[in-house]
């Protein structure tokens, strides 16, 4: 009898107990489990929007939290000689110049200041009030004429997020709205005009520091308010600032990244701004014109920054220690190279490997160093790299015990054909003439000619005669990837090949 009553009570009250339990989507719950102390704050934000009238806002806050475990800031603290943190914030001052003067005074007071890097996870630090404000603000700007037609998915990726990369989190929305609100007023709902006004304004007061100066402080990305205060930064900073500016006036936007140029040195960042029809407009604040269709040089890859994890990224299913230390360890990007350049799938035959490595990296020569820029899976002693740019040479490499080692011969991905550059035992004599934009000789300087055979092998060194416009080298292997390096090298030299007919192709 008593057991029957107990079973009846359990049956009656079980639904109530279940309703009282907090049940979240699996990806949200997985993210929440990764913080030890901040879960209550994140749940407050969920509860705030957990109302029938806020269905989309609830989905939006779920989206932010589900992907918050991959978001973090990289910054630093100033420590004195005892290791004590010195309180200093450049944003406490009216402008950057004043903050620098204040810091100079601080250095006189503490003679041995040192910077200590800090890594701040969003999942451990973002508060409910910040999330609530972020979601509410984003839904307000979604009503703008150039944003109201974009899909909810694009809204979540390119208008909703509170951060872009690894910059310190700062309350950017209102300052940017105040700074760039005039764009909305002047454009009168015209998307193209908004981009023109934005570009014109930023170029009047912001300086790109590329080739001008380098930040010596250990801060890889400036925060949103630091960008407005300092009024200068790298192209990565320009891309971040432009994204904040566009989002503040209701234009969905993100940063597109060229991690490495395939036929030049360095990297680049620009923006993708989404039109009312949801089309990505390539938008580079640093160019004189208002949008970009094609680059002037080959990009090894172009990657669009997302807030969310992308399941087809290598780091999504591979342990990070097995991946070279660069962007390939990230999970929040999509490959958009084919929006900017002609691409094709490139097949590389591989050397025999006894270590059972199943991932191979497509590397480009950038700064005279082979840089991993994409990946492929080994199959039958070969690998296929998807959507590589045409007009570049790629070296397949394994990543073993923290270093890259050749996995095959270089492959030149031409516009009409593909050539494997395996050096021949047969050699020849070649004459290398000067060529505008590529090669000019300096009298009295030494030049070394190398070919690639699992490393750069020196063929010969020569010094040109006074006013000489060419150099001749003997014993040059046929079908080889070549590199001419002067003693005054700035690591910008490009590799090349010479056809049977004697025609030279630079890569």
Are 162 and 127 a contacting pair, CB within 8 Å? no
Q: Any residues with CB less than 8 A from the CB of 18 and at least 6 apart, and which? A: none
For the stretch 20-45, pLDDT in tens is: 446 899 999 999 999 999 999 999 99
Q: Does 19 score more than 60 pLDDT? A: no
Secondary structure class of 328 (helix, strand, coil)? helix
For 370, 456, 481, the CA distances from 365, given in Å and listed in that order, are 5, 12, 11
Q: Does 7 score more than 70 pLDDT? A: no
- Can you give the pLDDT at residue 355? 67
Give the angle 493-351-301 at the CA atoms, nearest 5°: 45
- Can you give the pLDDT at residue 111? 79
Q: Does 4 score more than 60 pLDDT? A: no
- Can you give the pLDDT at residue 459? 97
For the stretch 161-192, pLDDT in tens is: 999 999 999 999 999 999 999 999 999 989 99
Q: Any residues with CB less than 8 A from the CB of 82 and at least 6 apart, and which? A: none
Burial 81-111 (b: 16+ CB within 10 A, else e): eeeeeeeeebeebeebeebeeeeeeeeeebe
For the stretch 352-368, pLDDT in tens is: 876 678 999 999 999 99
Q: Does 15 score more than 90 pLDDT? A: no
Beta partners for residue 400, in sequence order? 403
Structure tokens at 289: 């014109």
- Can you give the pLDDT at residue 352? 83
Find where tokens 């050397």 sit. Answer: 351
**How far apart are alpha carbons 505 and 507 in whole angstroms?**
7
pTM above 0.85, yes or no: yes
Mean pLDDT value across residues 133-145: 94
Radius of gyration of the chain (CA): 28
The residue ranking higher by pLDDT, 210 or 264, is: 264
Find where tokens 């090349």 sit. Answer: 496
Q: Does 120 score more than 50 pLDDT? A: yes
| Residue 14 confidence class, pLDDT cut points 50, 70, 90 | very low
For 47, 122, 123, 132, 308, the CA distances from 41, given in Å and listed in that order, are 10, 12, 10, 11, 21
End-to-end CA distance of the chain: 87
Secondary structure class of 264 (helix, strand, coil)? coil
Q: Does 118 score more than 80 pLDDT? A: yes
Are 363 and 370 a contacting pair, CB within 8 Å? yes
- Can you give the pLDDT at residue 440? 94
Q: Does 1 score more than 70 pLDDT? A: no
A 10 A CB-CB count for 195 gives 25
The dihedral formed by the CA atoms of 420, 426, 430 and 436, expressed in degrees to the nearest 10? 10
Based on DSSP, count helices (H) and strands (E) in the chain, helices before strands.
14, 25
For the stretch 391-446, pLDDT in tens is: 999 999 999 989 999 999 999 999 999 999 999 999 999 999 999 989 999 999 99
**How far apart are alpha carbons 500 and 268 in whole angstroms?**
36
**How far apart are alpha carbons 410 and 394 in whole angstroms?**
6
For the stretch 267-321, pLDDT in tens is: 999 999 999 999 999 999 988 777 787 899 999 999 999 999 999 999 999 999 9
**How far apart are alpha carbons 288 and 29 in whole angstroms?**
47
In whole angstroms, what separates CA 100 from the centre of its chain?
29
Burial class (CB in 10 A: 0-12, 13-18, 19+), 453: middle
Mean per-residue pLDDT of the chain:
92
Are 333 and 327 a contacting pair, CB within 8 Å? yes
Are 497 and 504 a contacting pair, CB within 8 Å? yes
Q: Does 18 score more than 50 pLDDT? A: no
């Amino acid at each position: 009898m008593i057991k029957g009553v107990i079973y009846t009570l359990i049956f009656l009250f079980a639904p109530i107990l279940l309703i009282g339990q907090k049940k979240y989507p699996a990806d949200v719950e997985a993210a929440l489990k990764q913080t030890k102390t901040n879960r209550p704050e994140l749940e407050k934000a969920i509860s705030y929007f957990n109302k029938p009238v806020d269905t989309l806002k609830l989905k939006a806050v779920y989206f932010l939290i589900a992907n918050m475990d991959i978001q973090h800031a990289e910054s630093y603290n100033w420590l004195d000689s005892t290791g004590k943190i010195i309180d200093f914030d450049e944003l406490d001052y009216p402008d950057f110049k004043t903050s620098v003067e204040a810091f100079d005074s601080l250095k006189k007071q503490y003679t041995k200041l040192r910077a200590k890097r800090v890594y701040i996870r969003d999942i451990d630090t973002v508060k409910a009030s910040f999330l609530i404000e972020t979601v509410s603000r984003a839904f307000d700007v979604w009503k703008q004429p150039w944003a109201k037609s974009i899909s909810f998915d694009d809204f979540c990726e390119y208008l909703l997020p509170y951060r872009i990369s690894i910059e310190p989190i700062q309350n950017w929305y209102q300052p940017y709205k105040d700074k760039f609100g005039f764009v909305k007023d002047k454009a009168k709902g015209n998307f193209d005009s908004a981009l023109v006004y934005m570009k014109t304004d930023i170029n009047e007061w912001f300086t790109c520091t590329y080739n001008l100066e380098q930040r010596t402080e250990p801060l890889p990305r400036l925060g949103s308010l630091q960008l407005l205060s300092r009024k200068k930064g790298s192209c990565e900073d320009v891309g971040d600032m432009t994204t904040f500016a566009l989002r503040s006036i209701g234009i969905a936007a993100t940063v597109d990244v060229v991690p490495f140029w395939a036929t030049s040195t360095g990297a680049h960042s620009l923006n993708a701004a989404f039109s009312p029809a949801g089309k990505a407009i390539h938008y580079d604040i640093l160019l004189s014109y208002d949008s970009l269709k094609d680059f002037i040089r080959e990009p090894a890859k172009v990657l669009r920054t997302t807030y969310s994890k992308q399941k087809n990224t290598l780091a999504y299913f591979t342990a990070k220690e097995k991946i070279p230390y660069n962007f390939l360890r990230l999970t929040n990007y999509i490959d958009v190279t084919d929006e900017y350049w002609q691409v094709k799938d490139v097949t590389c035959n591989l050397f025999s490997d006894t270590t059972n490595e199943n991932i191979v990296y497509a590397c480009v020569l950038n700064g005279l160093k082979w840089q991993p820029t994409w990946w492929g899976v080994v199959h039958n002693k070969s690998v296929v790299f998807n959507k590589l740019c045409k007009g570049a040479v790629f070296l397949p490499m394994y990543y073993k015990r923290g270093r890259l080692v050749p996995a095959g011969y270089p492959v030149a991905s031409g516009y009409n054909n593909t050539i494997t550059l395996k050096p021949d035992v047969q050699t020849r004599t070649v004459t290398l003439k000067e060529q505008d934009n590529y090669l000019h000789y300096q009298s009295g300087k030494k030049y070394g000619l190398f070919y690639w055979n699992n490393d750069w092998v020196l063929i010969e060194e020569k010094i040109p005669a006074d006013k000489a416009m060419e150099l001749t080298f003997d014993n040059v292997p046929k079908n080889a990837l070549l590199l001419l390096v002067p003693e005054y090298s700035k690591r910008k030299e490009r590799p090349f090949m010479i056809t049977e007919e004697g025609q030279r192709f630079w890569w």
